[in-house]
Structure 1
Amino acid sequence: MEFKSLRDYTLDQLAVMWNEGFTGYFVDATQSPEGFLRRFAAEHLSLDLSFAAVLEGKPVGFVLSGARAIGGTKTAWNGGTGIAPAYRGQGIGKLMIAEALRRYAAHGVGLATLEAIAANAPAIALYERMGYRTINRLKILQQTGELPAVTFAAAGTGPFRVQLGTAPDVRGLSFYDHSAPWQTQWANLTNAESAILYDDQDRPLGYALFKLAYDEHGNPASASLFQCRADERREDAGAIVRHLLAAVFPPHPSLTRRTMNLPASHAEAVQALEQAGFSLLMEQVQMTQPLSPEEQA
């Protein structure tokens, strides 16, 4: 077994490698060469950290990874691990994860992270054997159709003001969640928006990160929520979160509303969405492994 740079392969070959690696997966992950390239760029993956596993000259698996500083810690994320069906169950996954961790350490990574579908018990067991531990569960919720304007109304909540802006606007908030999964971090969200709730003294109380998509007529088609939480010191966290949800999910009748890897630890948001009729499409686990002495402490 050897590990080769993705630079040794054409875009067409990389797409074939990806599609073979995700054959029989829980969801259809098929990618065209162009789709693979867009995914690689959008998820800020790294050619230095990513690699193919090669056996007798043939690529049989891969690990895609990226890294950046999050909350002061250089953090690596696993953006996809796949093995061709004919080579599964032979210990290749263990060798690949060990190689990924070696590369992380060599590049000064302090924290390794990944997500796995909660129903994928074999993958989770492998990651646990390699030192990862589950720290959170991640919710993919969805609601379509009519959503009454009063769905997220909260009585007696005081004078609040919602300020809409860009994703980077949340980076300075003292209660920003640096532990949220990498796909939902402001720096990894392209063209995302933010909603920050302020009180009558312009003190920030909570925030949401989300994206809106529009149809060909300019009407809202979908709204995706990535993070939504209040300052944990607030006793009215539930009301704060409901104000933010009302801003993120307008009552447009044809809108598809969903969450993308919303941490279960954002409990007020999860509870409010479930009460509003959002249903669970999929659940993932968020796993981490400290690599630096500071993160291991």
Structure 2
Amino acid sequence: MEFKTLADSSIKDILAVFNLSFSDYVVPFHLSEEQLIFKINAEKIDLNLSVGAFEDGELAGFILQAEKNENGETIIYNGGTGIVPEHRGKGLVRKMYDFIIPILKKKNADVLLLEVIEGNNQAIRAYENLGFTKVRRLLCFNGNIKSGKRQSAINIRELKEFQWDKFRSFWDIEPSWQGCISVLDRIQNDLITFGAYENEKLIGYLIYNPVIRKIYQIAVDKDYRRKGVGTSLFDAVGNGQPVSFNNIDDVSENTSRFLSEKVGLTNWISQFEMKRFL
């Protein structure tokens, strides 16, 4: 078995192994080539930092990784680990990390970050044995938006650009990797941002991808909560519209309750965010 970065690997080869690896996953899923390219671009996946396990020149497993600098730290995010069934049980995940970590240390990386589905105990134990620890639990929601009563005093407008300084002032929690600022800035042209206004004051916002029907962020000014602002923002997306909204920190009980009781979404699965310091 040979280990090297995916810099010279084709999208078609990565896609074939990706789909085979996840065909019997805890939550099986399948990507098209277009969807994989979108994932790589959106999540800032860098094939020079990603690693593959090769048997006789054929890709047998991979770790897709991305990099960002935040608060003085260089963070390396695992955007997906996959091993084809016939090569499982050979310690390939550890061996791929053993190969790539020295490369990451030379780049002065500080933190490794990943998400793993709650209940995937084998994977959780494997990552814990590699030195990862759970840092927070993330809730994933989906379902159809139920009809809500839009407040007449709240005006919903489509925003032309992100107003991050203002948006951040509404936050209680930091978004996970897929909803973080650096990722959303890269895919802004694919997104719709709704702003909620009262008397020309921005009091809340929602960021949405209409093609894949995914909510990335929603937040409301602390002084305007429980006044129908969030309901009005979801109503702008569309009553009855099926959507997903992933990786909400479970410490935000108000958000979880709002999504289930007011919006009508279901917490269908949860994940652990795990970190390892280098």
Shift of 1:21: 2.4
Shift of 1:60: 1.7
TM normalised by structure 1 equals: 0.76
Distance, in Å, in 2 between the alignment partners of 1:63 and 1:55 is: 15
How many pairs were matched up? 271
Matched, 1:92 2:92: yes
- Per the alignment, do residues 88 and 278 of structure 1 end up closer, same or farther by CA in structure 2, a change over 3 Å counting? same
Shift of 1:82: 0.6
Of the three residues 144, 164, 169, the one matched with 2:163 is: 169
Asked if 1 retains the 8 angstrom alpha-carbon contact of 2:53 and 2:60, the reply is: yes
Distance, in Å, in 2 between the alignment partners of 1:193 and 1:117 is: 28
Letter in 2 for 1:188: V
Asked if 1 retains the 8 angstrom alpha-carbon contact of 2:117 and 2:270, the reply is: yes
What is residue 258 of structure 2 aligned with on the other side?
A: 272
Asked if 2 retains the 8 angstrom alpha-carbon contact of 1:168 and 1:187, the reply is: no
Shift of 1:57: 3.7
What is residue 226 of structure 1 aligned with on the other side?
A: 216
Asked if 2 retains the 8 angstrom alpha-carbon contact of 1:12 and 1:33, the reply is: yes
TM normalised by structure 2 equals: 0.81
Distance, in Å, in 1 between the alignment partners of 2:131 and 2:161 is: 32
Shift of 1:106: 2.4
Asked if 2 retains the 8 angstrom alpha-carbon contact of 1:223 and 1:249, the reply is: no
Letter in 2 for 1:227: Q
- Per the alignment, do residues 49 and 251 of structure 1 end up closer, same or farther by CA in structure 2, a change over 3 Å counting? closer
Identity across matched positions, percent: 23
What is residue 294 of structure 1 aligned with on the other side?
A: none
Distance, in Å, in 2 between the alignment partners of 1:71 and 1:168 is: 20
Q: Structure 2 matches for 1:207-246, cutoff 5 A?
A: 207-213=204-210, 224-229=214-219, 234=222, 238-239=225-226, 242-246=228-232
Distance, in Å, in 2 between the alignment partners of 1:14 and 1:251 is: 34
Q: Structure 2 matches for 1:1-297, cutoff 5 A?
A: 1-144=1-144, 146-149=146-149, 164-165=158-159, 168-171=162-165, 173-174=168-169, 176=171, 179-189=174-184, 190-191=187-188, 192-194=191-193, 207-213=204-210, 224-229=214-219, 234=222, 238-239=225-226, 242-250=228-236, 252-276=238-262, 277-291=264-278
* Structure 1 range deviating more: 243-252 or 58-67: 243-252
Provide, for residues 97-144 of structure 1, a one-character-per-residue CA deviation record: whole Å limited to 9, x for no partner: 333433332222222211111121111111111122222222221232
Shift of 1:162: 6.5
| Unaligned residue ranges in structure 1 (runs of 5+) | 154-158, 215-221, 292-297
Question: Is the partner of 1:148 in helix, strand or coil?
Answer: coil
Distance, in Å, in 1 between the alignment partners of 2:134 and 2:177 is: 15
Distance, in Å, in 2 between the alignment partners of 1:134 and 1:58 is: 33
Shift of 1:209: 4.3
Q: What's the Cα RMSD here?
A: 3.1
- Per the alignment, do residues 254 and 176 of structure 1 end up closer, same or farther by CA in structure 2, a change over 3 Å counting? closer
Distance, in Å, in 1 between the alignment partners of 2:213 and 2:193 is: 12
Shift of 1:81: 0.4
Distance, in Å, in 1 between the alignment partners of 2:96 and 2:70 is: 24
Asked if 2 retains the 8 angstrom alpha-carbon contact of 1:226 and 1:262, the reply is: no
Asked if 2 retains the 8 angstrom alpha-carbon contact of 1:144 and 1:254, the reply is: yes
Provide, for residues 7-28 of structure 1, a one-character-per-residue CA deviation record: whole Å limited to 9, x for no partner: 3333322222222322311233
Shift of 1:86: 0.9
- Per the alignment, do residues 279 and 188 of structure 1 end up closer, same or farther by CA in structure 2, a change over 3 Å counting? same
Distance, in Å, in 2 between the alignment partners of 1:252 and 1:39 is: 25
Asked if 1 retains the 8 angstrom alpha-carbon contact of 2:139 and 2:250, the reply is: yes
- Per the alignment, do residues 163 and 70 of structure 1 end up closer, same or farther by CA in structure 2, a change over 3 Å counting? farther
- Per the alignment, do residues 198 and 32 of structure 1 end up closer, same or farther by CA in structure 2, a change over 3 Å counting? closer
Distance, in Å, in 1 between the alignment partners of 2:224 and 2:256 is: 12
Distance, in Å, in 2 between the alignment partners of 1:185 and 1:145 is: 23
Distance, in Å, in 1 between the alignment partners of 2:250 and 2:29 is: 24
Shift of 1:77: 0.9
Asked if 1 retains the 8 angstrom alpha-carbon contact of 2:44 and 2:183, the reply is: yes
Shift of 1:80: 0.8
Distance, in Å, in 1 between the alignment partners of 2:197 and 2:205 is: 12
Distance, in Å, in 2 between the alignment partners of 1:209 and 1:146 is: 16
Shift of 1:237: 7.2
